[in-house]
A and B are shown apart, each in its own frame.
Chain A
Amino acid sequence: GAVVSQHPSRVICKSGTSVKIECRSLDFQATTMFWYRQFPKQSLMLMATSNEGSKATYEQGVEKDKFLINHASLTLSTLTVTSAHPEDSSFYICSARDGLVPGSGANVLTFGAGSRLTVL
């Protein structure tokens, strides 16, 4: 099946630094990728929709200047947390549209393994 690779899986950084998280579709082209944020034992909250070759669409309440998203190719989207602070510590997970569910015609979202960010 399709694979979405997310890197790094864990990152610890100092407050004020920027961190880049990469999301790659390994064996399919993803014109659209989605970035979610998840706090411990809570739901996944959509941050933004990343479209190849155009600006990302951010959800209400998500700071565009804080969370920079770039989707420069059909297989790569990046999320940069700029000037990170402890409150940005979270689990960030990307997803991309995969193939069809057999017999249903529905597209399934394949998720990366996630990136756990800890800001000291």
Chain B
Amino acid sequence: AQKITQTQPGMFVQEKEAVTLDCTYDTSDPSYGLFWYKQPSSGEMIFLIYQGSYDQQNATEGRYSLNFQKARKSANLVISASQLGDSAMYFCAMRPSNQAGTALIFGKGTTLSVSS
């Protein structure tokens, strides 16, 4: 079965610290895509970072990096130097087969709270 698991309902971090949001996935497809989205209280979904199953290197995008451990089926998001504006809900998602016409499967999300 295709599944995304985020085990941290909430995470708390202070400004300027790094934080890791956990994500594990389950799929039998050899090709898949992994995504992280941020959802602030306004509700919009903001794309952060992508990792393909065949990508050799971990994805990075500014302060975001994805710690991809394929054998462990994990795709943790690392946010460096947290900012107050990072407070939001974060979703890990997977696209099975990584075909363009395939919908994303989302985890339950992790609420990140950044304090000053």
Which A positions have Cβ atoms within 8 angstroms of B? 31-32, 34, 41-46, 49, 91, 93, 95, 97, 101, 104-114, 116
Contacts and interface: CB of A to CB of B under 8 A. Distances in A.
Given A43-B91, A95-B45, A97-B100, A108 B50 contact: yes
**Chain A interface secondary structure, helix, strand, loop or mixed?**
strand
Nearest to B109: A43
A91 B43 contact: yes
Minimum-distance CB pairs A-B, first 9: A111-B45, A114-B43, A107-B100, A44-B106, A43-B108, A34-B103, A101-B50, A113-B44, A43-B106
Contacts of A113: 42-44
A111 B47 CA distance: 9
B55 to A, nearest CB: 7
Given A49-B103, A107-B100, A93 B45 contact: yes
A116 B43 contact: yes
B101 interface: yes
Given A43-B91, A95-B104, A109-B47, 4 more contacts: A46-B103, A46-B105, A49-B103, A110-B47
